[in-house]
Amino acid sequence: GDPEPVQDFCVAAPLGVEGKVSLAFPGLPCKPASTVVSDDFFFAAQARAASTDNPNGAGVTPGNVEAFPGLNTLGLSLNRVDLAPGGVNPLHTHPRSAELVHVEAGEMLVGFVSTDGKFYSKVVQEGESFVIPRGMMHFQYNVGAGAARAMTVFNSQLPGVVLAAQSVFGAQPEIPDAVLAKSFQVDAEIIKLLKSKFRKG
């Protein structure tokens, strides 16, 4: 999890034209307390479903500190995950956080792999939860007949996400085909095919 807060709150100041301010700790700079209002502690973007009209059939609406500045220094955040029937929130890890998956509608297979290679999974129904330890590779897969929805809760204001396929096959500049062919024990042709699917733009 994140460091302990050292004050009541530290609503993140708007980011400058230079882009993201980056401080080692504790996250983003605070705006002056005298300018903080109730709306700084409110976040409405997750009241609506994200589009699932994409190859994965999945839509994630992030509620990390970048979307919801009031979370700065509070050590938590949450995402909304919408899955079309058969949709998958694809394999990924969060380097800075555990994740609690709370299913609000439908049913999904939720699973992760531990460092010793064991796969843990459960079909999780409406109202039920499953927890993914920090850093473990995981997914959610809609195994129900209708749409499915979960809120995922993190003990970090900015859990970070490493998408397995995207980071391996879509990295820019490219990881050499020879490295990937050896790593996955397949021909370079297969690597080129996978790269073509995950290359951006």
Binding-site ranges for ligand GLV (CB under 6 A): 60, 79, 81, 89, 99, 138, 140, 152
CB nearer ligand GLV, residue 13 or residue 163: 163
CB nearer ligand GLV, residue 31 or residue 102: 102
- 89 touches which of Mn ion, ligand GLV, none (CB within 5 to 8 A by kind)? ligand GLV
Could you tell me whether strands 148-154 and 77-83 are parallel, antiparallel, or unpaired per DSSP bridges? antiparallel
Chain centre to alpha carbon of residue 40:
22
Q: Give the span between the Cα atoms of 201 and 197, in whole angstroms.
A: 11
Closest residue by Cα to residue 23 from 157, 147, 148: 157
CB nearer Mn ion, residue 89 or residue 191: 89
CB nearer Mn ion, residue 28 or residue 81: 81
Q: Give the span between the Cα atoms of 36 and 39, in whole angstroms.
A: 8
CB of 6 to Mn ion, least distance (A): 28
Residue 106 contacts residue 141 (beta carbons within 8 Å): no
- 79 touches which of Mn ion, ligand GLV, none (CB within 5 to 8 A by kind)? ligand GLV
Residues that bind Mn ion (CB under 5 A): 99
